[in-house]
Structure 1
């Protein structure tokens, strides 16, 4: 990542389902383009005329994916902000009015504060991420339906729900197969996937989640992977909180997957089992021990990818 010069022209794009509202940082003019192929072409042409080299977007339920891909394809730097980041920035700057045009200007201002940008997203991971999201949502739907069935005793309704759950299970299995087949078709992704699977408790789907959702793994310093996932403890020494540390933020979807891996590693891997037991013997609550295992696992994932060597379990 490279630091961007201060004279870089920066635009903010407020992404909606139908429209893209655009503002250039430091200029009063805003423009609106359609969020479709024609609008994307017109937007890119206008940004080029304005000399813009960096654009900021707000993650908006996936509506930003296509325009992000188009912008990166023509060589623009793209920063994708989480909605909370933009809201907090607005509060910091005391921006209370809200229109699409003002939101675009706000996003441009927030983007101007970013010193570095991430590398352009790998288009292979973009497609895999959509399939993985579908897999995760179908898993949640099936789980919710099974919970609902615990309170159903009508035979015809039970049969209907059973059929729905089976249909979801079949679709989930097909999506898993598609994800793994696409990974196998790319030698570099397959190598990373196999290295991740060498970790205790990490199965094919958990490894795929880390591969897709955390492409930075292998290029992070010690502690960064845990912070990125959201399992790094941060001290809170204010008010009633004294001498305690808390986790927060991070990437929820891969964190949920790694939680499952941590449960398995804590039960079946001698090294991780002993590590968790030492924490429990020291008086740590069960959840704290599991988070510590997750932290150890994600740092190990970063290490095996950096070294390009599989994990070797160590004796307790």
Structure 2
């Protein structure tokens, strides 16, 4: 994937071709993919150069998996292919698809695409403003102070204007209004941060909160070999999401009671600032994912669980378990009695009822069905 053209490799027949990265050539690529019917089409994430092809192939009902280029590159290293060329990369990505489990993705809607394009300068403007405020010289010249202050105010104004442009785009899509309201209810997450997380992390609202935190790049990774206990580092994940989470965590640790207590406890325990702020980022990500999954806004105190309903369910399960135990106990006792009667020696004038004709009233309905399953022949009546 590049700005000028797209290199294509068909696995496993080895067909290779490339098309220009423009609408006409992408339509030609779609026709060839429909003739081949690959499952799925593997594309390397490039930031923006793959979006047109992704949307066009998705319209044709083709499954497309967007993968991190780092993973196919390591896949090539594992096969001993150390060189890096366009042909090697396309062949490696095509072989990576059938070998590794992939998750197909859908392209963003038009409104979200506009939000994505508008979000980048908004985040960069705010980042430049923060950078200038942090690196403000202590004893500059008078003209330098005026220029830095003017640029600082300009970046803040541009960031606010772009954030105001994003809000109508979110409100125009009914499916994203609620998903936008929930993150912004958390102290420390503003409109730009919420939109960035929803755009960059489609995995939000997932059952696996730990996986979501890992995809955000806020999960420390162990480095323990033998007796070595190395320092835990964060890596991988979306760098854009990690940057906005860092800024949100620095604000939330002052205004969010839960995150402030976590940060203060870690700092008092002797943890460095980066370790404490990374843990705050992780908890902020998990909190946002949990709120989206439960479809509720943030509150200072979590909602109380329905204790009465839980107690009733626990009592009901206990009653069912007790009934099952008693039924199976009675069934095994009657089965043992039946085997004992069958084992009695036959005497003249002595007759007994076979075990397959015992009345169900003696053992109850549950025990009756249990004996019916245990009897080797015939059917209980």
Shared fold, TM over 0.5: yes
What is the CA–CA distance in structure 2 between the aligned matches of 1:149 and 1:279, rounded to whole Å?
29
Q: Is the Cα contact below 8 Å between 1:16 and 1:63 reproduced in 2?
A: yes
Matches within 5 A, 1:237-276: 237-238=224-225, 241-242=228-229, 244-276=231-263
Structure 1: tracts of 5 or more residues without a match: 1-14
What is the CA–CA distance in structure 1 between the aligned matches of 2:75 and 2:121, rounded to whole Å?
31
The DSSP-based 3-state class of the residue aligned with 1:33 is strand
Q: Deviations over 1:41-84 (max 9, x none)?
A: 11111111122232111223421111111111111111222232
Matches within 5 A, 1:260-299: 260-299=247-286
Structure number with higher relative contact order (C-alpha < 8 Å, ≥ 6 residues apart): 1
C-alpha RMSD of the superposition: 2.7
The DSSP-based 3-state class of the residue aligned with 1:245 is coil
Q: Is the Cα contact below 8 Å between 2:65 and 2:105 reproduced in 1?
A: no
Q: Is the Cα contact below 8 Å between 1:77 and 1:117 reproduced in 2?
A: no
Cα separation, partners in 2 of 1:280 and 1:203, compared to 1, 3 Å: same
Q: Does 1:66 align with 2:66?
A: no
Match of 1:301 among 265, 285, 288: 288
Q: Is the Cα contact below 8 Å between 1:271 and 1:314 reproduced in 2?
A: no
What is the CA–CA distance in structure 1 between the aligned matches of 2:288 and 2:33, rounded to whole Å?
39
The number of equivalent residue pairs is 300
Q: Does 1:36 align with 2:3?
A: no
Match of 1:118 among 98, 101, 104: 104
What is the CA–CA distance in structure 1 between the aligned matches of 2:148 and 2:262, rounded to whole Å?
42
What is the CA–CA distance in structure 1 between the aligned matches of 2:263 and 2:105, rounded to whole Å?
36
Match of 1:25 among 1, 7, 11: 11
Q: Deviations over 1:224-268 (max 9, x none)?
A: 221111112232212674175332221121222122222222212
Give the structure 2 partner of residue 11 of structure 1: none
Match of 2:117 among 98, 120, 130: 130
Structure 2: tracts of 5 or more residues without a match: 303-381
Q: Is the Cα contact below 8 Å between 1:57 and 1:78 reproduced in 2?
A: yes
Match of 1:207 among 194, 198, 222: 194
Cα separation, partners in 2 of 1:263 and 1:166, compared to 1, 3 Å: closer
TM-score by length of 1: 0.84
Larger radius of gyration: 2
Cα separation, partners in 2 of 1:205 and 1:51, compared to 1, 3 Å: closer
TM-score by length of 2: 0.70
Matches within 5 A, 1:127-276: 127-142=114-129, 150=137, 153=141, 155=143, 168-238=155-225, 241-242=228-229, 244-276=231-263
Q: Is the Cα contact below 8 Å between 1:183 and 1:189 reproduced in 2?
A: yes
Q: Is the Cα contact below 8 Å between 1:57 and 1:80 reproduced in 2?
A: yes
Give the structure 1 partner of residue 94 of structure 2: 108
